[in-house]
Copies of this chain bind each other. A is one copy, B any other.
Amino acid sequence: MDENILGLIAGALTSIAALPQLLKVLKTKNTKDLSAMMLVILISGLSLWVWYGLINDELPIILSNAFAVLLNMILLFCKLTFKK
């Protein structure tokens, strides 16, 4: 498989992975079992990937990781506000 396609698919999957978790949290309003520390570390790492993409002018890395930052920040907001 062409490595660019492989990288795009891998990036897309790891970016949208948070979506089912976010939908579940929005439906159940339960976040007790989620780790806030995981979300903080993940958001920090993903933000650095966005910075990395900006430095290297790599749009796929910028877009996929920026989307993941958004999803995980909403998750963290839910975690801090739902309190269940």
Q: What number of copies of this chain does the assembly contain?
A: 2
Contact yes or no, A21 B7, CB < 8 A: no
Interface presence of A73 (CB below 8 A)? no
CA distance A30 to B35 in the complex (A): 11
Interface presence of A38 (CB below 8 A)? yes
Q: Which residues from B are CB-within-8-Å of A34? A: 21, 33-34
A interface, CB within 8 angstroms of B: 3, 6-7, 9-21, 23-25, 28, 30-35, 37-39, 41-42, 44-46, 48-49, 51-52, 55-56
Question: Which 10 residue pairs across A and B have the least CB separation, nearest first?
Answer: A13-B45, A10-B48, A14-B45, A33-B33, A20-B37, A17-B42, A21-B35, A21-B38, A17-B41, A20-B35
